[in-house]
Amino acid sequence: MVAKLDKAALAAIRDTLNARLDLLGQRLHQLEDALDSPHSNDWADAAKEREDDEAMEALGLEAQHEVAMIHAALARIEAGTYGTCTDCDLPISEDRLEVLPFTPFCRECAAAHAR
């Protein structure tokens, strides 16, 4: 279990989350640029480029989802509820927050959502 996080720990987490947002923003911009580039006139090359576009779109959707999760975590920090499971109101373990600093769920509730 994790105790109530102090201001310094929350500031460090906020900095980590904001740095991740910056990185994701750059990645999304690069994906958009790649998706906007013109396709080849060669049929085989164009087909491969369309496959690549589908993969890039999937990566973009994953990044957008992570951005939304990070914004929600930052809102929980501001609200004073960060580190508390949004389902069961129990503390989220420190180990889990280190791996997934934007998670809204403790291990048990995350497992229940995965079913």
Q: Is residue 20 part of a domain?
A: yes
Of 41 and 95, the structure prediction assigns the larger pLDDT to 95
Q: Is residue 41 part of a domain?
A: yes
| pLDDT for the residue numbered 2 | 52
Of 75 and 49, the structure prediction assigns the larger pLDDT to 75
- For 68, the token pair is 């939304």
pTM of the model: 0.81
Residues 6+ apart with CB under 8 A from 24: 63, 66, 67, 70
| pLDDT for the residue numbered 23 | 97
Dihedral-angle region of residue 84 (phi above 0 means left; psi in -120 to 50 means alpha; beta otherwise): beta
Q: Is residue 32 part of a domain?
A: yes
Q: Is residue 37 part of a domain?
A: yes
Q: Which domain holds residue 78?
A: 7-83
Q: Is residue 2 part of a domain?
A: no
Closest CA to 82 of 22, 1, 4: 4
Q: Is residue 55 part of a domain?
A: yes
Total domains in the fold of the chain? 1
